[in-house]
Amino acid sequence: MLQTKKEKISSVKGMNDILPPASAGWEWLEAKVRVLMARYAYRNIRTPIVENTGLFVRGLGEVTDIVEKEMYSFEDRLNGEMLTLRPENTAGVVRAVSEHALLYDGGKRLYYMGPMFRHERPQRGRYRQFHQIGAEALGFPGAEIDAELILLAHALWQELGLTNVRLELNTLGQPAERKMHREALVRYFEQAIDRLDDDARRRLHSNPLRILDSKNPNMQGVIEAAPQLRDYVDSESLAHFDLVTSILDANGVAWRFNPRLVRGLDYYNRTVFEFVTDELGAQGTICGGGRYDYLIEEIGGKSAPAVGWAMGVERVFELLNLKSQAYPLPVPDAYAVLPDASVIPSACVVLETLRRAGVQVQMHSPSTPGAGMGSMKSQLRRADASGAQHAIIFGMDEFERGACVVKSLRDGTGAQSERRLADAAAWAASLIFTSNS
C-alpha cells in the first residue's frame, strides 16, 4: 500500500510552547508570585479566556491599538454572538466583580495569571499568545492602595533578583481635567498638522492623548513640546499623587516622573505607572498599570474605584535569562536502579512509599528507547545524568535479603549504605535534597 506522508502541523505563528526545562522557570516564578500575593492579602481570580467582544470595545476604548487591530474575534457559530479571546484581563475581572457583586461588603484585592491574545507582529518580547500576571484592587479610592500595588510589584522584582528595572510615574488627573488638557492638545496638534503621521492625524479628534503614546521617532519633537497634562491637574489629584510618591519615598523605592506616560488604554485616571528596563530593546516595559475609577461604570456596573497592574511574563523571563542561574532547574532526589526486571513490582511499592514521604524519585524504565534494562553500570550512568542526589539500587543480592543500597551521587564520596525495604518510610527523609523541599 502506498503511504503518502502527511503534512506536519505546527504551532500558530506568535504562539509558543513552553517546554521543560524552561517550564520549571515558569513554575518557579508562579510559586514566588503566589507567596508574594498572599503576603499582601491578594486573592486569586480566574475568569474565562473568551468574553463578549463588547466588553473589550467598551472597556478598553474604541480608539486603542487593541480594539482597532489586535483582537482575535469570531462569531459564535451557534448563536451569532461576537466573542473575543481576552487581550488583557482587567476588563474580565471588572465584569466578574460586578456580575457577582463582589464589592457588596467592601473592597477586594485580586490577582490572576494566564494567557492573553493579541494579533501583533511577532518579535522579541511581543507574541500573539503571551502571559500576564496581574493584580487589581477594587473598591478602594485611596492613594495608599496605588502605592501598595507598586510596592507589591517592586517586591516581586526583588524576589526575582531583577535589578535593572526602573519605575516611571505620572498622574492623568480626573476626566474633567483631562478634557481641558485634551482641548488644548487638539488646538496644538491642529497647528502642527503637517508634522503628524497618518495614525496621529486620524486620532487627532477621536483620541489626541493617544498621539503622545506614539513610537514614531519623527514625531518625538512635536510630542515633546505639546501641552502638558500636569498643568491642568487640580489640587486634589495632585494630593493623591503626592501621597503615592511619599509612600514610595518612605520605602526607598526610586521613581521618575514621566509626564508623557499615558498608557495604551483609555480607562486610566490619576496614577499611572510602568516598570521599564533598557535591557530588552524596544519591548522594555515589563509591567504597567494605574487607577481606573470609571471602568466599572463603563461596562455597566455600579460605580467603584479601582487600581491595578499587569506584567508581561515572557519579558520578565527574557530579562531573567540574561542572568545565569536565575532559577534552579529541577532534579530528582533519587534515581531507582533496577538491574533485574523481576524486582520491579516490589521496588515500585518502595518507591511509592518514598514518594508519599515527599521524595522525588525517577525510576529507571527498561522500556526507555535505546536504554533497555542495561547493565547496572549503564543504569548508574543514567542516574548520574538525571542530576539525582542519590541512586537507590535494587540489586538481586540485597533484594533477597529485603534490602536495597542507597548510593550518594553528588557529595564526591560515593558512599553506599544498605537500607531495609520494609522501613522505607523511616529513611525517606534522608534522601530529600534541601533545594527540592
Binder to ligand ATP among 283, 378, 386, 436 (CB under 6 A)? 283
Closest separation in Å from C-beta 319 to ligand ATP: 10
Q: Tell which one of 240, 315, 382, 390 touches ligand ATP (CB under 6 A).
A: 315
Query: CB under 6 A: which stretch of 146-154, 220-228, 279-287, 374-382 binds ligand ATP?
Result: 279-287
Element (H, E) at 138: strand 129-138
Interacting residue with ligand ATP among 36, 58, 88, 350 (CB under 6 A): 88
Q: Which residue has the cell 522501613?
A: 423
Q: CB-wise, 203 or 390, nearer to ligand ATP?
A: 203
Options 118-126, 386-394, 405-413, 427-435: segment touching ligand ATP (CB under 6 A): 118-126
Grid cell digits, residue 241: 499623587
| Site map 323..342 versus ligand ATP, x via CB under 6 A | --------------------
Measured in whole angstroms, the distance separating CA 272 from the mean position of its chain's CA atoms is 19
| 132 touches ligand ATP by CB under 6 A | yes
Residue 429, C-alpha cell as written in the block: 527523609
Query: What is the C-alpha to C-alpha distance for residues 340 and 337, in angstroms, rounded to an integer?
Result: 9
Three-state secondary structure call for residue 410: coil
Q: Which is nearer to ligand ATP, 47 or 285 (CB)?
A: 285
Residue sitting closest to ligand ATP (CB)? 312
130 sits near ligand ATP (criterion: CB under 6 A):
yes
The answer to whether 258 and 169 are in contact (CB under 8 A) is yes
Residue from the set 314, 343, 360, 404 that interacts with ligand ATP by CB under 6 A: 314
What sign for the dihedral angle of Cα 68, 257, 189, 224? Answer: negative
- Of 123-131, 174-182, 338-346, 367-375, which part binds ligand ATP (CB under 6 A)? 123-131
Please check whether residue 292 is in contact with residue 307, taking contact to mean a CB–CB distance below 8 angstroms. Answer: yes
285 contacts ligand ATP (rule: CB under 6 A): yes
Binding residues for ligand ATP, total number by CB under 6 A: 19
Compute the least distance from the CB of residue 292 to ligand ATP, in Å. 12
Select from 138, 102, 114, 7 the least CA-distant residue to 50. 114
CB 32 → ligand ATP: shortest distance, Å? 17
Minimum distance of ligand ATP from residue 338's CB (angstroms): 45
Write down the least CB distance from residue 112 to ligand ATP, Å. Answer: 13
Residue 54 DSSP label: H
Contacts of 150 by beta carbon, 8 Å cutoff, 6+ apart: 167, 244, 248, 253, 273, 309
Q: Rounded to whole angstroms, what are the CA distances from 120 to 377, 420, 431?
A: 52, 60, 48
CB of residue 334 to ligand ATP, shortest distance in Å = 39
Among 118, 203, 390, 419, binds ligand ATP (CB under 6 A): 118
Name which of 118 and 291 has its Cβ closer to ligand ATP.
Answer: 118
Measured CA to CA, the distance from residue 20 to residue 417 in angstroms comes to 33
How far is Cα 209 from Cα 175, in angstroms, rounded to an integer? Answer: 12
Q: Does 312 bind ligand ATP (CB under 6 A)?
A: yes
Q: How far is the CB of 356 from ligand ATP (least distance, A)?
A: 40
- Between CA 368 and CA 372 the distance in angstroms is 6
Tell me if 264 sits within 8 A of 63, measured CB to CB.
Answer: no
> Contact between 56 and ligand ATP (CB under 6 A)?
no
**Is 126 a binder of ligand ATP (CB under 6 A)?**
yes
Do 66 and 273 contact (CB within 8 A), yes or no?
no
- Asked whether position 148 contacts ligand ATP by CB under 6 A, the answer is no
Q: Binding ligand ATP by CB under 6 A: which of 56, 111, 127, 335? A: 127
Burial of 177 (0-12, 13-18, 19+ CB in 10 A): buried
Among positions 30, 68, 120, 199, the unique one binding ligand ATP when judged by CB under 6 A = 120
Q: For the CB of residue 128, give the shortest distance to ligand ATP in the complex, in Å.
A: 7
Minimum gap (Å) between residue 6 Cβ and ligand ATP: 32
Q: Which residues of 96-109 are buried (b: 16+ CB within 10 A; e: fewer)?
A: bbbeeebbeeebbb
Query: Which member of 153, 229, 262, 286 binds ligand ATP (CB under 6 A)?
Result: 286
Examine residue 318 and tell whether it contacts ligand ATP (CB under 6 A). no
Q: Strands 269-276 and 50-52: what pairing?
A: unpaired
3-state secondary structure of 1: coil
Cβ distance to ligand ATP smaller for residue 216 or 362: 216
Element (H, E) at 94: helix 90-99
**Considering only CA atoms, which of 60, 68, 133 is closest in space to residue 94?**
60
Interface positions with ligand ATP (CB under 6 A): 88, 118, 120, 125-127, 130, 132, 264, 283, 285-288, 310-312, 314-315
